């Protein structure tokens, strides 16, 4: 599956965020989408789910997973109960594989998730939502406010995961430039209400910093 | 299972139990404290408690019901429910089922204690039926309003507004009796008062049916709203 949308326009009330942009995302690797705060990165992610713009095919919303600050796992249950619920619905083997890749065996399973660290919660969130095994995955600022060790673990995880699932379209919406440096993929920048692709991450970073 | 666990961990069940305890206590103190009744019989006490449930229910139950639904919006867990293949209707029905079952358990416990203290179980079944019906009404109305609004204060405000409007409508016309069946200005309340005073153990079949049909209609309206608002549910959950 390749996502190719021409003339994409994203507007929130009177604020035009993207104007006749060309969205072209391929499977394999990670499609990094970079932009300053307020340019509409998260709005774009939300539009993939809600399709308020009406540009996306109807089936797309049910074929994608969004992992973000607005897709939390419940914090008033324990990790043990979380896994118990997930196993009822999803493949146990996949759960184990994802858990191994993210080193979550060290997370205490009997205490409430709200008492875990942000990094531990983020790992549980990744494992939970990736179990959906959808064709398209949108990661929206998933390394924000995390400690360096967890960020490195998530980078490492995403490199392995994207290689193992080369048929999936993975979008990584971020303003954390270390994501670009550490995760291989394609690079897009919100620029002049368009989404501009750069062949070279260094070129994108230079323009992003100078903007 | 997840909703039961959540209701225990986030203390919804505990608060629900406290609300029931408070209602039963107010049912005792109102006649003793305000009406200066020296001896409160089993029937008088249960009727007083029934009055508390019908007259103060919206005030007492609105916070905990709205909290149980609205916190999923504020905690941004709606996409997690979607991960578990929930839609807005399944989400609502699960919340309703947990609150209903927990309320039924608490009503049974409190009524058992009261009946044991008085050593009289003659109104036990009737009171289980009446209190469960009254609370079911609150869960359906406040739960549905909370499903439509992501803000807990808005949900509570709209629920209380609904309550006031329904009382005004019932008082304004006989044709609007069924807008708030349990209200004290309504014929059902007077009928129940007579049943308690005359020593009967149950209300008439037609009134049983009225109560059941009333809650059934509320349930069907809630289901319809739950079914139709899937996109709004997602939007409220991520915005």
Q: Can you tell me whether residue A105 is helix, strand or coil?
A: helix
Q: What whole-number distance in Å separates Cα of residue B134 and Cα of residue B128?
A: 10
Of A65, A89, A112, the CB nearest to B84: A89
Over residues B195-213, the pLDDT tens digits come to 999 988 899 999 999 999 9
Return mean pLDDT, chain B. Answer: 95
How many angstroms from the chain centroid is the CA of residue A174? 9
**Residue A74 token pair:** 């419940």
Q: Please determine, for residue B229, whether its predicted confidence score (pLDDT) is greater than 90.
A: yes
Q: Give the A-side interface with B, CB within 8 Å.
A: 46, 49-50, 65-66, 69-77, 81, 85, 89, 112, 128-129, 131-132
CA angle A183, A186, A191 (to 5 degrees): 115
pLDDT of amino acid B174: 80
pLDDT of amino acid B173: 83
Q: Which of A104, A185, A178, A113 is nearest to A148 (CA)?
A: A178
Q: What whole-number distance in Å separates Cα of residue B214 and Cα of residue A164?
A: 56
Q: What whole-number distance in Å separates Cα of residue A58 and Cα of residue A55?
A: 9
Task: Please write down the HEC assignment for all residues of B144-208.
Answer: HHHHHCCCHHHHHHHHHHHHHHHHHHHHHCHHHHHHHCCCCCCHHHHHHHHHHHCCCCCCCHHHH
pTM: 0.92
pLDDT of amino acid A80: 95
Over residues A172-193, the pLDDT tens digits come to 999 889 999 999 999 999 999 9
Q: Give the B-side interface with A, CB within 8 Å.
A: 1-2, 5-6, 9-10, 75-77, 79-80, 83-85, 231, 234-235, 237-239
Q: Please determine, for residue B1, whether its predicted confidence score (pLDDT) is greater than 80.
A: no
Over residues B172-188, the pLDDT tens digits come to 888 888 888 999 888 99
Q: Residue ranges of the domains in chain B? A: 2-238
Over residues B91-105, the pLDDT tens digits come to 999 999 999 999 999
pLDDT of amino acid A196: 95
**A-B contacts (CB, under 8 Å):** 57
Q: What whole-number distance in Å separates Cα of residue B225 and Cα of residue B131?
A: 25
Q: What percent of chain B has pLDDT over 90?
A: 87
CA angle A115, A175, A30 (to 5 degrees): 90
**Residue B63 token pair:** 């916070």
Q: What are phi and psi of A66, to 5 degrees?
A: -115, 125
Strands (E) across chain A are located at: 3-12, 15-25, 30-34, 64-67, 136-140, 169-174, 185-191, 194-198
**Residue A183 token pair:** 């995760």
Contact: A46, B9; criterion CB under 8 Å: no
Q: Can you tell me whether residue A173 is helix, strand or coil?
A: strand
Q: Please determine, for residue A69, whether its predicted confidence score (pLDDT) is greater than 80.
A: yes
Over residues A105-151, the pLDDT tens digits come to 889 999 999 999 999 999 999 999 999 999 999 999 999 889 999 99
Q: Which residues of A117-142 are buried (b: 16+ CB within 10 A; e: fewer)?
A: eebbbbbbbbbbbbbbebbbbbbbbb
Pairing of strands A185-191, A194-198: antiparallel
Q: How far apart are the first and last CA of chain A?
A: 33
Dihedral (CA of B121, B186, B31, B59) sign: positive
Over residues B3-38, the pLDDT tens digits come to 999 999 999 999 999 999 999 999 999 999 887 888
Of B5, B77, B235, the CB nearest to A72: B77
Q: Which of A168, A173, A180 is nearest to A195 (CA)?
A: A173
Q: What whole-number distance in Å separates Cα of residue B69 and Cα of residue B144?
A: 9
Q: Which of B187, B193, B175 is nearest to B211 (CA)?
A: B187
Measured between beta carbons, which residues in chain A are less than 8 angstroms from residue B6?
Answer: 74, 76-77
Residue ranges and CATH numbers for the domains of chain A are: 3-210 (3.40.50.300)
Q: What whole-number distance in Å separates Cα of residue A31 and Cα of residue B212?
A: 56
Mean pLDDT within B142-159: 97
DSSP string for residues in B52-109: HHHHHHHHHHHHHHHHHHHHHHHTT-HHHHHHTT--HHHHHHHHHHHHHHHHHHHHHH
Q: What whole-number distance in Å separates Cα of residue B233 and Cα of residue B73?
A: 9
**B227 to A24, A31, A112, A187, B80: CA distances (angstroms):** 34, 36, 32, 40, 18
**B29 to A211, B36, B93: CA distances (angstroms):** 70, 9, 36
Q: What is the number of residues in chain B?
A: 239
Contact: B76, A81; criterion CB under 8 Å: no
Helices then strands (H, E): number in chain A?
7, 8
Return mean pLDDT, chain A. Answer: 93
pLDDT of amino acid B108: 98
């Amino acid at each position: 599956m390749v996502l190719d949308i021409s003339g994409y326009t994203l507007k929130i009330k009177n604020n035009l965020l993207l104007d006749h942009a060309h969205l072209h995302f391929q499977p394999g690797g990670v499609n990094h989408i970079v932009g300053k705060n307020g340019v509409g990165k998260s709005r774009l992610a939300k539009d993939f789910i809600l399709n308020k713009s009406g540009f996306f095919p109807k089936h797309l919303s049910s074929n994608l997973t969004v992992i973000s600050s607005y897709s939390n796992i419940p914090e008033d249950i324990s990790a043990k109960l979380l896994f118990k619920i997930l196993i009822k619905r999803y493949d146990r083997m996949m759960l184990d594989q994802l858990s191994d890749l993210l080193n979550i065996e060290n997370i205490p399973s009997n205490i409430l998730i709200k008492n875990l660290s942000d990094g531990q919660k983020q790992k549980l969130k990744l494992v939970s939502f990736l179990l959906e095994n959808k064709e398209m995955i949108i990661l929206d600022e998933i390394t924000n406010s995390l400690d360096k060790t967890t960020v490195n673990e998530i980078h490492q995880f995403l490199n392995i995961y994207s290689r193992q699932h080369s048929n999936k379209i993975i979008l990584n919406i971020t303003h954390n430039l270390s994501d670009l440096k550490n995760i291989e993929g394609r690079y897009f920048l919100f620029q002049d209400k368009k989404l501009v692709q750069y062949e070279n991450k260094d070129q994108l970073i230079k323009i992003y910093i100078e903007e | 299972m997840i909703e039961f666990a959540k209701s225990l961990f986030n203390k919804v069940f505990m608060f629900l139990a406290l609300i029931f305890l408070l209602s039963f206590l107010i049912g005792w103190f109102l006649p003793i404290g305000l009406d200066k009744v020296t001896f409160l019989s089993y029937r008088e006490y249960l009727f007083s408690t029934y009055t508390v449930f019908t007259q103060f229910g919206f005030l007492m139950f609105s916070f905990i019901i709205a909290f149980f639904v609205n916190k999923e919006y504020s905690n941004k867990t709606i996409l997690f429910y979607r991960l578990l293949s929930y839609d807005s209707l399944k989400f609502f029905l699960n919340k309703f089922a947990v609150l209903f079952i927990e309320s039924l358990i608490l009503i049974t416990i409190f009524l058992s204690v009261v009946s044991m203290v008085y050593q009289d179980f003659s109104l036990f079944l009737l009171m289980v039926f009446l209190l469960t019906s009254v609370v079911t009404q609150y869960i359906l109305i406040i739960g549905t309003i909370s499903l439509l609004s992501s803000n807990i204060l808005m949900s509570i405000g709209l629920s209380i507004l609904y309550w006031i409007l329904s009382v005004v409508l019932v008082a304004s016309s006989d044709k609007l009796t069924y807008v708030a069946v349990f209200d004290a200005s309504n014929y059902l309340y007077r009928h129940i008062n007579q049943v308690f005073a005359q020593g009967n153990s149950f209300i008439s079949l037609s009134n049983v049916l009225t109560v059941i049909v009333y809650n059934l209609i509320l349930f069907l309206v809630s289901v319809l709203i739950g079914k139709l608002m899937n996109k709004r549910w997602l939007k409220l959950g991520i915005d």
